Amino acid sequence: MKLFLAATLYIITVNFAISSEFLERSHYSVLYDTLDTEIEEEKGVFFFDLSLIPETLDNELRYSIDNDETQILLLSETRKLTILTYAGRHSLQFFLNSDFKEIFIFNLPISSQHRKGIELNFRVAPELQPVKKPVIYLYPEDTMQVSVEVIPKGEFTYTYPEIQNGWNFTCAPQVEIFDGTHSYPYLFWESEQRIKQKDINPNAGVFISGGNAMQYLNAQLTQFGLTSSERADFISFWGPQLQTKTNLYIYLLLDEECDAFASLKISPQPQNVSRIYVIWSEVPANYSHPLESQLIPTMNRDGFTVIEWGGAEVDAAILFPEDL
């Protein structure tokens, strides 16, 4: 039996018509850089103006410098932050809350006995946008009662049929899902969520043109072990979206890594569960840096087998904050 479960997720997306220069300016602005002989030689002072943070927010600001221990500033007490450090270049990170994007400042210079004033501008996190469905195939060997539960990293916005402590149905070769009253070609769910850089490895994957993306993905899916029919489902869905892009970053989430989107509970336990998600971003035409090639394993399809494919578009500025 080939049983389909379809789902739609919600992930942060941004139209990448904005230049990286604009993104940097929108995060912070240098107000002044002046000599202050009262500062010890070989040291300098960063002064961060936080007045652009709404007055209604009085929570904690978390920050670190040069990947050192995270510090906390209570906004209920002050909207100013002073950091004394050694002269040279420094990287800083600021986190307000999940409603705002983190601010990353890389290689910010400070001269000896200088005081540099900087205004931080926390940009509101982009609105959640719908992205494309994962599809789950179930291949049982015999007729059985099957229970499927999807646990998304977010809240359901819609399910079909309506989910009641998961979906429970009869599953048999060559028939649709049957719950005792109705039959369904697939099960569908929606969720809202955000994906973070830590959920993938931005040092692996590939930069590729949209015109070559489907050939690349077809080869990877073949290596993974998808059938020609499963690959056709995948390519026909993602192809129209990717082929028009000039420059893409593509990363493939495999098996347990897909839990970054949602975890699955299936009973009885399948002999094999294989999952593959394509994570992609449109990046500027001239953007690139060295990436490790991904090694794609080949699945085992013996016994009761569950296969899932899906994917999401992700804001490139989240994946490569140091550059974009």
| CATH number for the domain that contains residue 109 | 2.60.40
Measured between alpha carbons, how far is 141 from 287 in angstroms, rounded to an integer?
48
- Do 211 and 279 belong to one domain? yes
Residues 140 and 275 in one domain: yes
Q: Last residue of some domain: 120, 137, 163? A: 120
Q: Per the domain annotation, does 234 fall within a domain?
A: yes
138 assigned to some structural domain: yes
Domain shared by 110 and 134, yes or no: no
Residue ranges making up the domain that contains 61:
20-120
Domain co-membership, 140 together with 56 = no
Give the torsion sign (CA, 86, 90, 95, 100). positive
Domain end (from 74, 101, 120): 120
Considering the domain architecture, whether residues 182 and 282 belong to the same structural domain is answered as yes
**Residue 324 covered by a domain:** no
Please give the structure tokens belonging to residue 252: 């493939």
**pLDDT tens by residue, the chain, 324 residues:** 444 444 434 333 323 233 333 333 347 899 999 999 999 999 999 999 999 888 888 788 999 998 888 899 999 999 999 999 999 999 898 988 877 778 888 889 999 999 999 999 887 665 454 445 677 787 888 888 889 898 988 777 777 778 778 888 887 776 666 787 877 666 677 777 777 777 788 889 999 999 999 999 999 999 999 999 889 888 988 889 899 999 999 999 999 999 988 899 999 999 999 999 999 988 888 888 889 999 999 999 999 888 888 888 887 877 776 665
- Does one domain contain both 163 and 254? yes
189 contacts 156 by C-beta, under 8 angstroms: yes
Same domain membership, residue 270 and residue 141? yes
Distant-in-sequence contacts of 217-225, Cβ < 8 A, 24+ apart: 217/250, 217/278, 220/252, 220/294, 220/296, 221/276, 221/309, 223/296, 223/298, 224/254, 224/274, 224/276, 224/296, 224/297, 224/298, 224/299, 225/274, 225/298, 225/299, 225/301
Q: Do 98 and 63 fall into the same domain?
A: yes
What single letter denotes the amino acid at residue 66? D
Closest CA to 213 of 267, 249, 176: 249
Q: Are residues 45 and 156 in the same domain?
A: no
Number of structural domains in the chain: 2
Dihedral over Cα of 258, 291, 27, 78: its sign: positive
Asked if 228 and 201 sit in the same domain, the reply is yes
Indicate if 53 and 90 belong to the same structural domain.
yes
In a domain, 132, yes or no: yes
Helix (H) or strand (E) holding 217: helix 210-224
- If asked whether residues 240 and 307 sit together in one domain, one would say yes
- Residue 75 resides in a domain: yes
Domain boundary residue among 104, 120, 136?
Answer: 120
| Residue 44: inside a domain | yes
